Amino acid sequence: MQEPFRAVVISRDEDKNQSVDIRELTLDDLMDGDVVVEVAATTVNYKDSLAITGKAPIIRHWPLVPGIDCAGTVVESQNDAFKPGDRIILNGWGVGETHMGCYARYARLKGDWLIHMPDGMSVRDAMAIGTAGYTAMLSVLALERYGITPERGPIIVTGANGGVGTVAICLLSKLGYSVIASTGRPEESAFLESLGAGEIINRIELSEPGRPLGKERWAGGIDSVGSYTLANVLSQTRYGGAVTACGLAQGFDLPATVMPFILRGVSLLGIDSVMAPKPLREEAWRRLAADLDMDKLHRLSKTIGFDDIIDTAHAMMDGRVQGRVVVDMSA
């Protein structure tokens, strides 16, 4: 396995100018780990796009192969939990940020970061879900643990056309929730309705400064946007409701007041997909295998080849990508 393989590599010069290239690597170029995986599929997430475009300081080790997700097959293992031939999924743990990632044919990883792929799930399905869909499932689990059932009322999903948003809509609708989708692309309302959204609102309703307390409109929310959007979602959440926060597409600030918390008992639930403990990851992936409508998943995802990764990352940052993107590493 010492033959060279292609990889996307992000580098930086002495003046901290970033460059992104496709290079040939060998296993000797990879970082430490006790499992070597042949990457069958990966995906382009928002975080991957930030890394490739340099729009945010995602990369913290130079040079680095980006790519925070993969699905593939173990080819070498010094970890007792995995053996050659096992199908695995990786999400997070700093891979593609501080550790060589998955935009390459091979990745050397720590077995503690991996989970076995659920039975019946294909590598394409796993990466159509990816970190975005896994994060959506973590959000749904958090709402369930807090007692936000379908009977409590509708759930708002912000950033509805993005990776987290589209999968969240699919999951919530199948579980019986009424879903309100907030989007900046109202012309794509039919697409969101096909995924299970019952009502579409323009994100402009939420993206500007609002009142400390607004009309009570939803029992809970899944927010991947942050900033004024999250503040307004909180201010319009019903008494005793809860909102999950898992992203910062609008910004990392939260210009809110304590009013929703102390007058309506609203709770803000933080979602971390990167360092989530393994039992929670395994629960999320089991639920995804059981509760996600795979026909809808196929509708909201498209497949590209390795050579399209860089261009797709730029398109995602420009708002020109809908739903999920799977990278077939054999294409």
Closest CA to 302 of 327, 285, 329, 320: 327
Query: What is the reported pLDDT for 146?
Result: 98
pLDDT digits (tens, 9 = 90+) for 252-265: 999 999 999 999 99
pLDDT digits (tens, 9 = 90+) for 265-297: 999 999 999 999 999 999 999 999 999 999 999
Domain 5-117+300-328 sits in CATH 3.40.50.300: no
Boundaries of every domain in the chain: 5-117+300-328, 132-270
pLDDT digits (tens, 9 = 90+) for 6-58: 999 999 999 989 999 999 999 999 999 999 999 999 999 989 999 999 998 89
**120's tokens:** 């019946």
Task: Assign 323 a pLDDT band (cuts: 50, 70, 90).
Answer: confident
DSSP element (H, E) containing 278: helix 278-291
What is the rounded CA–CA span in Å between residue 97 and residue 64? 8
Task: Assign 151 a pLDDT band (cuts: 50, 70, 90).
Answer: very high
Residue 98: alpha-carbon gap to chain centroid: 18
**219's tokens:** 């029992």
End-to-end CA distance of the chain: 20
The amino acid at 240: G
Residue 69 in this model has a pLDDT that exceeds 70: yes
Characterise 159 by phi-psi region: left (phi > 0), alpha (psi -120 to 50), beta (else).
Answer: left
Query: What is the reported pLDDT for 196?
Result: 96
Query: What is the reported pLDDT for 319?
Result: 85
Query: What is the reported pLDDT for 1?
Result: 59
Two domains, one topology: 5-117+300-328 and 132-270: no
* Whether the Cβ atoms of residue 115 and residue 89 lie closer than 8 Å to each other: yes
**What CATH class does 132-270 carry?**
alpha beta
pLDDT digits (tens, 9 = 90+) for 75-104: 999 999 999 999 999 999 999 999 999 999
Residue 228 in this model has a pLDDT that exceeds 80: yes
Does residue 212 have a cis bond before it (omega within 30 degrees)? no
> Look-up: residue for tokens 């739903």?
323
Residue 73 in this model has a pLDDT that exceeds 70: yes
- pTM score: 0.93
**76's tokens:** 């070498």
Residue 2 in this model has a pLDDT that exceeds 80: no
Query: What is the reported pLDDT for 322?
Result: 82
Provide the pairing of β-strand 35-43 with 324-328: antiparallel
What is the rounded CA–CA span in Å between residue 136 and residue 93? 17
Can you give the length of the chain in residues?
A: 331
Cα dihedral 166/172/177/181 (nearest 10): -20
Query: What is the reported pLDDT for 8?
Result: 98
Query: What is the reported pLDDT for 51?
Result: 96
* Mean predicted confidence (pLDDT) in 298-316: 95
pLDDT digits (tens, 9 = 90+) for 94-148: 999 999 999 999 999 999 999 999 999 999 999 999 999 999 999 999 999 999 9
**307's tokens:** 């050579």
